[in-house]
Structure 1
């Protein structure tokens, strides 16, 4: 079993969603973090206006150390990295970073490299064979790489953010999805337990 904790200056400390450390998560945030359903669907349902996906970046790159371990990749292996924002009425609610190893983009999974602005969640959860293998949560601080990418659009930078990452098997291939929850979602939009 993979250890739930990874320590790196550029990465947050990851923990199992049901671990003792999760008690430090503010309750409204935890409601979002632990929800097993499609985040795309939850944000869409909670948005009282136009929902859309904005692609910030897509290209080949290297996974972070703990991501390599989780994906069982060799050091410095190449992945297709896709960074997007989930928007409600043009305002970012979630920053998402997906890693798709080269070996995962074969067969039916090749379609994931051509999503453009189509939500990844719609594709993953539309396939009944998609499996969620592992779910971890973390507190993001200003020294972490993903923190700066997530808050780039904000006028005021928060002291911290919370996020999660999920290891999926899609068409039998590993895909890692990181989701950072922004203050606009946590503070203004009802949590999953209140959504129809």
Structure 2
């Protein structure tokens, strides 16, 4: 299904020219993000909360359903080697959380990837990326999880994509904390040293 952000959206189909090569790589990296993080170190996932609410106006285009439609939301954070690195907000229409996407309610501390990458009938939209603003629902997720340790919105890059199963959407939005980029850079540097020493 074709998906395009509205003109007033913060999300963009192409990376900003201000993004570094490494940022572009992670923001538009295909496959499961969890698998990529595990190449950087030991990954731990913590579930912050799961709840139902009405679909926010700025997120309605993602599911292509009306604003205020009841949705089921899951908010988590993943750490790499004990350092909080990526937080995520995932949601689907409430009926789908009891139907086609009911597995979302049973994940506990397992990543969404466990249910998204083993079914050939599940299709994924292209990625969209942005620098967060304070009003963004995904930034509210970060503030709820991190409290006073939450970095300013403009220092947080994010990506999102929509998974479709039999016409039913599931949105996954992921924010990369500033500390993540240092981890990724060190891993790239270490891998470069390893290659040159072989």
Q: Distance in 1 between matches of 2:186 and 2:54?
A: 33
Q: Which has the higher contact order (CA 8 A, sep 6+)?
A: 1
1:71 aligns with 2:63: yes
Q: Is the 8 A contact 1:32 1:192 kept in 2?
A: no
173-182 or 82-91: bigger deviation: 82-91
Q: Distance in 2 between matches of 1:122 and 1:190?
A: 27
Q: Secondary structure at the match of 1:24?
A: coil
Alignment of 1:103-118 (within 5 A): 103-118=95-110
**Any stretches of 5+ residues in structure 1 without a counterpart?**
none
- Which of 120, 126, 138 is equivalent to 1:128? 120
Q: Is the 8 A contact 2:91 2:172 kept in 1?
A: yes
Q: Secondary structure at the match of 2:16?
A: helix
Shift of 1:4: 2.8
Q: Distance in 2 between matches of 1:99 and 1:191?
A: 32
Q: Secondary structure at the match of 2:117?
A: helix
Q: Is the 8 A contact 1:46 1:190 kept in 2?
A: no
Q: Distance in 1 between matches of 2:49 and 2:158?
A: 19
Larger gyration radius, structure 1 or structure 2: 2
Q: Is the 8 A contact 2:74 2:89 kept in 1?
A: yes
Give the structure 1 partner of residue 27 of structure 2: 33
Give the structure 2 partner of residue 189 of structure 1: 184
Q: Distance in 2 between matches of 1:67 and 1:82?
A: 15
Change (3 A) 1:176 1:28: same
Q: Distance in 2 between matches of 1:137 and 1:162?
A: 7
Higher helix share: 2
Q: Is the 8 A contact 1:142 1:148 kept in 2?
A: yes
Give the structure 2 partner of residue 15 of structure 1: 12
CA offset digits 1:42-92 (Å, max 9, x no partner) = 111221x3x221001101112221321221212201111000001223321
Q: Distance in 1 between matches of 2:3 and 2:107?
A: 30
**Any stretches of 5+ residues in structure 2 without a counterpart?**
192-198
Change (3 A) 1:4 1:39: same
Change (3 A) 1:127 1:3: closer
TM norm structure 2: 0.81
TM norm structure 1: 0.81
